[in-house]
Amino acid sequence: MALSSSDYQKNQREWAYPVVPTSSRAFANLESCHLICSHLNAADLCRLSRVSKQWESEASALIWRELPSIAPIASVLQLSSTSLVQHPSALHGKFIQQLARARNRGRLVRKLTITPSDMEPGTARLTVLAIAFKTSVFPFLREAIIFGLPVYHANDLQKVLPGSLAALDVRGADTHAWAFVASRRASLRSLRIEGKTFIPRDVCRRFSDLRAMTEVDMTVPYCPPILPHLARCPSLRVLRLHTGESDMRGTTVAPSQGFRALRRLLVEGRSAAIQARGIIQSLSVLHPLEEVRLENAGAHGTPASMNEDHFMAVLIDIEKHCDPKALRTLVLTPRIPGQASASHKPSDASYLRPLASFSSLETLVLASWNGLALKNADCLAIATCWPHIRVLRLCNLRAGENLPTLHGLVPLADKCPELEELALAVDAQSAAPRLPAHYPRSRSRVKTLAMIGPSPIHGDTVLGAARFLATLFPHLRDISCPDGSPHKRCWADVSDRLAVAHAVAIQTERELATGSREAPDGGVVQSVAHALVKIEQHDATVVAPIGPTRNVNTDVVHQSTMPPPASESSGYDNAVAAMGDVQLTDVQRRSASQQRVDELQKCNAELEKDRASLEKRYRTMNSRLEGDIHGLQHLNADLQKQKTDIEQKYLQVEEERDVLGKQILRLQRDLEETSRNASTNLDALIEQLGKLEQHRDQVEKRCADLERWKGECKQRLQGLVSLG
């Protein structure tokens, strides 16, 4: 179906941007069609599908790729389950076109969601599709999401979903849902199931037959027999278990015989540590496990010391069974118990010892009451053992005990160049250490720093801490602190100073790059630390007492002609009296006032210089903005011209297509007429050939009669001759 000129102009007004074709026949290029369709939403794809059959095929493949319900497919049939059961012959005759259309749409679906409304008795869309089609209407479906599965729809679902389904997501699973999942063992590769019912034991046995399964995500009450059967899946690479408050007792997996393909393990819930130990102990030695996550582990009523023992045992099992070169991510976050159940064991850094050989770690998140009491020497060991670390979060739940100082962060900045996120509890109460003057520019990429726990700091050490952190971490943008911490305000002050220093450094580099400002003191502000020093010097100049008023833009000439009041020189008098109790004369007072006026004049000159620099920068930016506006106007004119050219080319293509269509129709008519004439002539020739065959038979028969008569005449002649 071709668009008229008015319809095309109307659609052009709805498009957000013009499309520049690569050639005059870009709309006939399949690659261009696919590229354009991939950037449109569903509404625009529906409009685009009405342009031509070629565009309809490309747009339909994207429109029907993901369906939020089976209602669009069932609505094509316009049938009810009751009418189909009572009159099955209704599928033939006038409904044959609807069936073909629904099947064509179903072939395009790759991801399908079956909602509770699809299985309601009033609509029964699932039953309609199960009865209307003998085979699955979605033959190429790869992923299905099912919200609940009533028992009376289990058979319908078996008919609707294809046997080649690769991914299945069941929400609100019950006993019938488990049986349905276990029956898809031929092709199922990814399974995500969520429910509140226990897994039946007979269904657990079927999980060992899921030969193609690569990913399992279960959020269900724990069932002890499930782990041994999942361990037999030869292709299982990702295992996620969310068991909540379920308790696991006595489940074992044969050592060195299970989970041979496992690469990622995530366990969450009350018995997460025990479950993880059972899985890790079943692995072979040097198993290439890449990720281990134990989140929200431990029970609320369990003493912290008991949970700590389980977590330490998990780390020891990881050291025994996992390949140090393969493990990339390790997360162990226990539940924080109440104050009454807190552990009273001595604190040390025992959590880090089993992981010392895992040099390929990139993400390490640990929390402990006893095993993460770090010192500065431990920070050096961390940087030495894990040089490729990217995310490091070590939470010592015993806040305020054995905390490393700011100096402990130096090895992390020097030896971990890939570190981007750091969370640690540090003690910044003492003065920040000063780095040597020849300290090289840091290559650290840390962007966020989280101060876990109180992380004590004083207001007197804020400036030193900010300068020290800016030197170590030049890309540091944000420092966070827990809301309940009494030191949150001081750390927020450090974060604000770093943010201002970042803005100043970036602005200075831009001005120096564009030449709108000369380098101060013949140099360049090369880091945030330098910018922070400049800001501190400026703050000290502004805070110092400079006269009776804080307006530095006041004309200093009039001030120099007036003797300052006694209140103005009180600060100066007190300072001199403190040195030696010397009585100031009038001449000395005037000289002091003159010096202060000179300082004000110097400050005013610096401000004038800054004002001139700002005016120069304003003029530069204004001229640049005018140039950008002029360039955008030219670009807009070019786009309008291209839009006009596209409209003309599109109309030409449509005209050529119409002409070609007419020529094709004419050729088809000529071909049909020629075929009919040839068929008629062929029939006439065949008929004439038959008549000629009959005439030839008659002539041959006549010739045979003549030969026989000739023989008889010859015999008679011989008889007459003999008689004579």
What mean pLDDT comes out for the span 128-147?
85
Phi then psi dihedrals of residue 108, to 5 deg: -85, -15
The owner of tokens 């739940």 is: 397
Higher pLDDT, 6 or 618: 618
Same domain, 376 and 513: yes
Same domain, 527 and 580: no
CA distances in angstroms from 627 to 444, 514, 613, listed in the order given: 39, 15, 21
Higher pLDDT, 239 or 658: 239
Q: How far apart, in whole angstroms, are the C-alpha atoms of residue 209 and residue 391?
A: 38
pLDDT in tens, 399-423: 566 788 898 999 999 999 999 999 9
| Long-range interactions of 404-409: CB distance < 8 A, separation 24+ | 404/374, 404/375, 404/376, 404/378, 404/379, 405/376, 405/430, 405/433, 406/432, 406/433, 406/465, 406/468, 406/469, 407/376, 407/433, 408/374, 408/375, 408/376, 408/378, 408/379, 408/380, 409/379, 409/469, 409/472
Same domain, 539 and 575: no
CA distances in angstroms from 43 to 30, 33, 50, 147, 678, listed in the order given: 21, 16, 12, 26, 51
pLDDT in tens, 321-346: 999 999 999 999 887 654 434 455 55
Residues 6+ apart with CB under 8 A from 664: none
Same domain, 457 and 539: yes
pLDDT at 424 over 70: yes
Contact 321, 284 (CB under 8 A): yes
Question: Which DSSP helix (H) or strand (E) runs through 586?
Answer: helix 586-723
End-to-end CA distance of the chain: 102
* pLDDT at residue 62, as a whole number: 81
Same domain, 587 and 534: no
* pLDDT at residue 524, as a whole number: 37
* pLDDT at residue 569, as a whole number: 36
Q: How far apart, in whole angstroms, are the C-alpha atoms of residue 113 and residue 33?
A: 28
CB-based burial label for 192 (10 Å; 0-12, 13-18, 19+) = middle
Higher pLDDT, 692 or 525: 692
Banded model confidence at residue 440, pLDDT cuts 50, 70, 90: confident
Residue 45 lies in a domain: yes
Q: Which of 577, 599, 615 is the last residue of a domain?
A: 615
Same domain, 462 and 598: no
* pLDDT at residue 343, as a whole number: 52
pLDDT in tens, 161-175: 888 888 989 888 776
**What's the full length of the chain, in residues?**
724
249: left (phi over 0), alpha (psi -120 to 50) or beta: beta
pTM: 0.64
The owner of tokens 């029907």 is: 64
Same domain, 519 and 610: no
Identify the DSSP state of 64.
Answer: S
pLDDT in tens, 257-285: 678 899 999 998 888 888 888 899 889 88
Q: Which structural domain range is residue 521 located in?
A: 345-544
CA nearest neighbour of 468 among 505, 508, 431, 507: 431
* pLDDT at residue 717, as a whole number: 87
Same domain, 371 and 407: yes
* pLDDT at residue 647, as a whole number: 87
Q: How far apart, in whole angstroms, are the C-alpha atoms of residue 629 and residue 631?
A: 5
Q: Which of 583, 615, 647 is the last residue of a domain?
A: 615
Q: How many domains does the chain have?
A: 3
The three-state DSSP-derived secondary structure of 384-421 is HHCCCCCEEEEEECCCCCCCCEHHHHHHHHHHCCCCCE
Average pLDDT, the chain: 76
Residues 6+ apart with CB under 8 A from 646: 18, 19, 20, 21
Same domain, 602 and 499: no
Q: Picking from 29-43, 180-194, 276-290, 514-528, which range would have the lowest pLDDT averaged per residue?
A: 514-528
Q: For residue 357, give both structure tokens.
A: 């050989």
- Which of 21-35, 86-100, 294-308, 382-396 has maximum average pLDDT? 382-396
Same domain, 531 and 589: no
* pLDDT at residue 382, as a whole number: 92
Same domain, 363 and 419: yes
pLDDT at 561 over 50: no
pLDDT in tens, 455-477: 888 888 888 888 888 888 888 88
Residue 642 three-state SS: helix
* pLDDT at residue 534, as a whole number: 57
* pLDDT at residue 23, as a whole number: 42
Banded model confidence at residue 627, pLDDT cuts 50, 70, 90: confident
Q: How far apart, in whole angstroms, are the C-alpha atoms of residue 193 and residue 218?
A: 5
Q: Which of 517, 544, 571 is the last residue of a domain?
A: 544
Contact 306, 337 (CB under 8 A): no
pLDDT at 556 over 80: no
